[in-house]
Amino acid sequence: KTSPKPSAHVAVKSYACQRRSPLNHHNTFLTEPLEILAENAEFMENEGRNIAFRRSASVLKALPRVVRRMEDLKNLPCLGGHSLRVIKEILEDGASQEVETTKQSEQFQAMKALTGVFGVGVKSADRWFREGLRNPSDLIRTGQKLNHTQQAGVRYYNDLNKPVTKKEAEAISDMVGKAVRAVLPGAILTLTGGFRRGKEVGHDVDFLITHPEEGAEEGMMPKVLKWLEDQGLLLYQKTTRNSYLESRDGPERAPHHMDRFERCFSIFKLEQTKECSGTTAGAAGMSEQQSGPSWRAVRVDLVVSPYSQFAYATLGWTGSKLFERDLRRWAGQERGMSLSNHALYDSKRHHYLHASSEEEIFTHLGLEYIPPSERNA
Ligand code: CTP
Ligand code: MN
Ligand code: MN
Ligand code: MN
């Protein structure tokens, strides 16, 4: 038998779904710089590099104390050479030259501003950057062709880049709850996403809707939206209908991490109390915001799930994104199973595994249960 590890070295598992990642951890001074490099890699469409930096940061979030020396990182998984160099520089000099240069770069700043427009992805942002555009005002000024989502994104740019508070999320939850119960008594509304993980602020508010009677939930999204619309609560909405059954084996199968629930990407009009409504400085083309300082725009995601898939949908929409990614990777690589936001399929025994709670899914996967508040990987 080998002697036990010195107690100074904590064992950290390599899959994010095997670790507890609390919201507040001890190494923000390292994880934030690493996540800047991850984001930059994302802007460059370098997915391998993006995920490598995200994984490095995530491992540090699971540590029970501050990293002070390179020595503290011994035996930790997922830390590649590049990440280690960045960490070493921060520990020795207080900052990483590469990170500071990245933050200051025109490309990083422009990509951040352009992808910060709701409806604008890395590809469009990169094209606009190469055409010399730097921020949302440039899109208006130069008369770029924008789809409806992007038009709403530019119009409400300032509001949508202001963090949504927990209090605002609760106010929206009350509104959506009313709508849901009005159109379908007995329906269940669950807050998912970052707020379910205990975050104090978010970039949007995520909800999952279901009904204990299987099938009763069908067709409820348009009704919920109409109810909200009639109350004057919606500034924008785009619904995608459920396509799980009809196109399961179709040619246009989405990548397996994209689910096929009926969903709605929306922007809510949230009335605010006087003390919360600071003046919103509007950039070009965003003047609508100036006339209404009594309300703000908030991004809301609504998803409807059949009751039989509700546990999987809840797990899938709670995040974090890295936690979800590693759950699917764990299922595939370690268990020979395929996990989606709808179901868990055992590829060896050729059957689906039913679950009526998140706990059951972790058990099916042979994982210790991790509560939402510790999925902040
Ligand atoms: N999600 C998904 N399919 C999408 C978009 C999102 O399954 N097309 C899931 C993500 O995996 C994530 C959850 O929905 O787990 C919430 O996503 P998002 O709102 O983007 O992130 P949050 O973790 O809520 O963080 P934020 O506070 O920034 O909103
Ligand atoms: Mn490298
Ligand atoms: Mn969210
Ligand atoms: Mn969301």
pLDDT tens for 212-259 read 999 999 999 999 999 999 999 999 999 988 776 544 443 344 444 468
What is the predicted pLDDT for the residue at 245? Answer: 55
Average pLDDT score over residue span 284-313: 83
Q: Hey, whose CA ends up nearest to atom 13 of ligand 1?
A: 317
What is the predicted pLDDT for the residue at 260? Answer: 83
User: Which CATH code for domain 106-155?
Assistant: 1.10.150.20
- The residues spanned by each domain of the chain are 16-102, 106-155, 164-312, 314-374
Report how far apart, in Å, the C-alpha atoms of 73 and of each of 50, 117, 268, 338 are.
Answer: 21, 38, 45, 32
Atom number of ligand 1 nearest to Cα 323:
15
What is the predicted pLDDT for the residue at 273? Answer: 79
Please say if the pLDDT value at position 173 is more than 70. yes
- Indicate the CATH number of 16-102 among 1.10.150.110, 1.10.287.130, 3.30.450.40, 1.20.1440.130: 1.10.150.110
Beta strands in 96-219 (DSSP E): 164-165, 188-191, 201-202, 205-210
CA angle at 175 for the pair 174 and 178, rounded to the nearest 5° = 85
How many whole angstroms from 164 Cα to the centroid of ligand 3? 10
Homologous superfamily of domain range 164-312: Beta Polymerase, domain 2 (3.30.460.10)
Binding-site residues, ligand 1, Cβ < 6 A:
193-194, 199, 202-204, 206, 258-259, 316-321, 324, 341
**Nearest residue to 66 (alpha-carbon basis) of 19, 33, 31:** 31
CB atoms within 10 A of CB 348: 8
Q: How confident is the model at residue 275 (pLDDT cuts 50, 70, 90)?
A: low
Please give the single-letter amino acid code of residue 72: D
What is the predicted pLDDT for the residue at 303? Answer: 97
What is the predicted pLDDT for the residue at 113? Answer: 98
Average pLDDT over all residues of the chain: 92
Specify the length of the chain in residues.
377
What is the predicted pLDDT for the residue at 288? Answer: 52
The question of ipTM being above 0.90 is answered as yes
What is the predicted pLDDT for the residue at 253? Answer: 43
